Structure 1
Amino acid sequence: MPEYLIYFNQQWVGDHSEEWFRGRGPLSRAVVDEIKATGAYVYAGGLEEEDGPVFSADATSGALLFTDGPYAETKEFLGGLTIVNVPDEETARIWAGRIAEACGWPQEVRRFKPRL
Structure 2
Amino acid sequence: MAEYLIYFNQQWVGDHTEEWFRGRGPLAAAVVDEIKAAGAYVFAGGLEEDGPVFSADATNGTLMFTDGPYVETKEWLGGLTVVDVADEETARMWAGKIAEACGWPQEVRRFGHMPQPGDE
TM-score interval for Structure 1 and Structure 2 normalised by the shorter chain? over 0.9
Distance 2:105 2:112 in 1: 23
1:113 aligns with 2:112: yes
1:39-54 alignment to 2 at 5 Å? Answer: 39-50=39-50, 52-54=51-53
2:112 aligned partner, one-letter code: K
2:95 aligned partner, one-letter code: A
Distance 1:114 1:83 in 2: 15
2:10 aligned partner, one-letter code: Q
Distance 1:12 1:70 in 2: 19
Post-superposition CA distance 1:8-67 (Å, at most 9, x none): 0000000000000000000000000000000000000000001x1100000001101100
What does residue 3 of structure 1 align with? 3
Which 5+ residue runs of structure 2 have no aligned equivalent?
Answer: 116-120
1:79-90 alignment to 2 at 5 Å? Answer: 79-90=78-89
RMSD of equivalent CA atoms: 0.5
What does residue 75 of structure 1 align with? 74
What does residue 38 of structure 2 align with? 38
Distance 1:67 1:57 in 2: 7
Larger CA Rg, structure 1 vs 2:
2
> Share of identical aligned residues, percent?
82
2:33 aligned partner, one-letter code: D
The number of equivalent residue pairs is 115
1:56-75 alignment to 2 at 5 Å? Answer: 56-75=55-74
What does residue 25 of structure 1 align with? 25
SS for the counterpart of 2:59 is: coil
Distance 1:71 1:48 in 2: 17
What does residue 15 of structure 1 align with? 15
1:38 aligned partner, one-letter code: A
Q: Tell me how far 1:115 sits from its aligned partner.
A: 2.0
TM-score, length basis structure 1: 0.98
